Amino acid sequence: MADHNALPLVILAEKFASLPGIGMKSAQRLAYHIMSMDEESVRDFAKALIDAKNNVHSCKCCQNLTEKDICPICGDDERDASVICVVEGPKDVTAFERTREYNGVYHVLHGLLSPMDGITPDKLRIRELLARISAGSVEEVIMATNPTVEGDATAMYVAGLLKPMGIKVTRLAFGLPVGGILEYADEITLFKALENRNDM
């Protein structure tokens, strides 16, 4: 924002622009929008920021974000605690929950291995996963990280740690997305779909 703009507005726009996926132009528009909101709504927004940061932390069991000690999924007796689905982040838990088909529990790594960016195994919640498995009663771990270089590397690394513990480790199936058009699938997806073909 140019010099003629009020400093608090410039600062606010910069805060918005520092968020992922928000450019300087959108940030400016958001700052102006805040100005058009009533004072109470703006205070509520500020409070929501502080509340989320102060009252939400990692579940002691699965490391997903929660305001309790143990998240509702880990605390649910009807979920099958013998199957753990290992994901990169909290949003992946939301994605699986939306399917309404998975009845096991989760483990959130809070990132993927990326040594170039300084994300080494000790930066992820791998220690906590091993502790859960050492406590017994886990039969299967599903590696559900993204099919990217980092996602695959993380899945391989964690699988390598778990297999000696006598745990069944599986990986999500990769293939054509349902409703997708074969013609538009990239070569690797198509190759995976071919390789993992099933009997009819």
CA 182, 93, 198: angle at the middle one, nearest 5?
35
What are the structure tokens assigned to 168, written together? 């069944």
Residues 70-99 that bind a second copy (CB under 8 A): 71-73, 89-91, 93-94, 97-98
Q: Min. distance of Cβ 190 from a second copy in angstroms?
A: 27
- Token representation of residue 143: 């590696």
Total residues binding a second copy (CB under 8 A): 56
Residue 32 within binding range of a second copy, rule CB under 8 A: yes
Can you tell me which of 67, 69, 80, 117 binds a second copy, judged by CB under 8 A? 67
CB of 37 to a second copy, least distance (A): 7
Query: Does 31 contact a second copy by CB under 8 A?
Result: yes
Look up residue 107 and give its DSSP letter: E
Could you give the maximum distance between any two Cα atoms of the chain, in Å?
69
Give the DSSP per-residue string, 112-179. --BGGGTB-GGGTTHHHHHHHHHTS---EEEE---SSHHHHHHHHHHHHHHGGGT-EEEE---SPPTT
Query: If binding is defined by CB under 8 A, does position 35 make contact with a second copy?
Result: yes
Q: Is residue 4 a contact residue for a second copy (CB under 8 A)? A: yes
Candidates 21, 118, 166, 179; binder of a second copy (CB under 8 A) is 21
Complex with a second copy: residue 34 or 185, whichever CB lies closer: 34
Label the pairing between strands 65-66 and 140-143.
Answer: unpaired
Nearest to 155 by CA among 187, 129, 191: 129
Q: Minimum distance from CB of 4 to a second copy (Å)?
A: 5
Q: What is the CA radius of gyration of the chain?
A: 22
Q: Would you say 4 or 197 has its CB closer to a second copy?
A: 4
Name the residues that contact a second copy, by CB under 8 A: 1-9, 11-12, 15, 19-21, 26, 28-35, 37, 39, 42-56, 64-68, 71-73, 89-91, 93-94, 97-98
